[in-house]
A and B are shown apart, each in its own frame.
Chain A
Amino acid sequence: MLIAAAKAGDQRALDQLLGNHQNRIYSICRRLTGNDADALDATQEALIAIVRGISRFDGRSAFGTWAYRVATNACLDEIRRRSRRPVPGLVEAAVTTAGATDRDPSDVTAERVDIDRALAVLPEPFRTAVVLRDVAGFDYATIAKVLNIAPGTVRSRIARGRARLVDVFNAKGTQHV
């Protein structure tokens, strides 16, 4: 078994195990941190934390759940270390194209920036819950385990986060009326 081999010190198994999860770890970190550089740093912290901690993985949860929990905590630590704050005017900038239906689909960079800015509007607990749900695709029970909170709290945070995002989109519509 891959996990057992990795825990036993098999580097190839560990490499394969991390390779299976690194894209999702990066995606989570990218949405949580809001930029490529911080996401890469956070991802590296996460990968290192996983490698360092895999010997303590007891198998009571799925490896993915454990790994994403480690990764999420590494990302949140990275965010807190850098003390990121929403940029003034962020909401206005975020809604400039967020609700546009005729934007150029090839304008990937602009879209990413808008997503980043929209997410940056959310308080960290809401953003984390929304990202774990909509980016990582976890169910509420898994998110609850990752964040070590009650499933009811997960449900509440996701709902509040999405409602805030809708407000951002509606603000854009109001500007054009």
Chain B
Amino acid sequence: MTDLSHTDNELVSSFLDGEATAAEADRVTADPALLVRANQLRAASEFVSSPVSVPATELDQLRARAIAGVDTNVIGFKTPGERRHERMRWFGRVATSAAVLLVVGGLGFAIANRGSGNDNIKADHSASETPTAAVSAETGPASAVSGDTAEAHSADINDAPEKPDAPMDADSDPSVPRGQNGPTSAESRTSQQSDDPPKETHDTQPNPTSTNPALSVSQADNSFDPLTTSFDPFGSSLDPVTGLDDLTTVVRRLLIEPPVFDSDHDDESVRCIAALLEESIQQGAAQVDSTYVLVNGQPFIVVASRFDTGTIKARTAPVDNCTSVKSLFIGP
């Protein structure tokens, strides 16, 4: 019956709807083929006209809101379209608020624990010859993962140049002349740890993040020494990262199961996290979260960002040096 002409279908359809003329109706009723088609189209019509389940309560609420909201100009009344935009703005505000809360909470912890932290630093400065400290001073924390750094850098999608003494960097390669690439991580880190003004480092190695006050290194606040104090925000559960694979695992888990910050941590690191979170949000990240990991025994900040396109990026920095931010492309 599907080989009927469109004119026939129109005729039969209008006949079913009582919209056909008397002559058209006679023609349909006299033609068995058209009657069969009429039954088919009637079945389709009855199918569509099946009763709709009406959510009466919700409709009553919608009606009341429409009247109250429009007629009395209730402040804050939003149409669904406006609510969609509001939801988008809301997500951004929540993420920003989370970052702010992180800063406030971190400052509180830091103030409460500053005294004991300084005591620990003084007591443990003699421990600078411990194996971990020696590794940091000579090659930086990236030495344990240098095998993965080439891959990490090739996948670096951050548009901003990063400071070469960033974690997981291969800048400790002795084959690279120092005069070409600026001071090594050891030099940079040593200068920061020896009370030199941080601007020296910035002068020789311009860093885009240095313009952000939240990302600048403050020597006054740099009393926290993760190598010598008991920096352990997650107890004994801090994940060791020895390469890009480990970092990828941490980041992917981070975006699924964000950790709860319930332990002590340094105010500088919290400021750094907040700044990185804020930057990620400004770059359009749909989801951001942060955690700490251990790289060669040294705690690092990891900020994970997921974008609407599915892209996942990680940004890392030593907890005591937020100018050494490194961006890594984790993948979709």
Contact = CB atoms under 8 A, between A and B. Distances in A.
A158 B60 CA distance: 32
A45 B47 contact: no
A26 interface: yes
B79 A130 contact: no
B67 A155 contact: no
A51 B72 CA distance: 11
A79 to B, nearest CB: 13
Contacts of A98: 47
A176 interface: no
Contacts of A31: 48, 52
Contacts of A159: 6, 9-10, 12-14, 41
A152 B44 CA distance: 21
Most A CB within 10 A of own CB, among B18, B62, B79: B62
Given A15-B63, A81-B81, A156-B10, A40 B58 contact: yes
B50 interface: yes
B65 interface: yes
A115 B48 contact: yes
Contact of A47 (B1, B9, B66): B66
A11 B69 CA distance: 12
A9 B59 contact: no
Interface of A: 9, 11, 14-15, 18-19, 22-23, 26-27, 30-31, 36, 40-45, 47-48, 50-52, 78, 81, 98, 108, 111-112, 115, 118-119, 130-131, 133-135, 139-140, 155-156, 158-160, 162-163, 165-167, 169-170
Contacts of B50: 111-112, 115
B129 interface: no
Interface residues of B, number: 41
Contact of B70 (A51, A81, A115, A156): A51
B123 interface: no
Contacts of A50: 66
Interface in B7-59: 9-10, 12-14, 17-19, 40-41, 43-50, 52-56, 58-59
A45 B59 contact: no
A140 B18 CA distance: 10
A155 B41 contact: no
Contact of A119 (B12, B48, B66): B48
B71 interface: yes
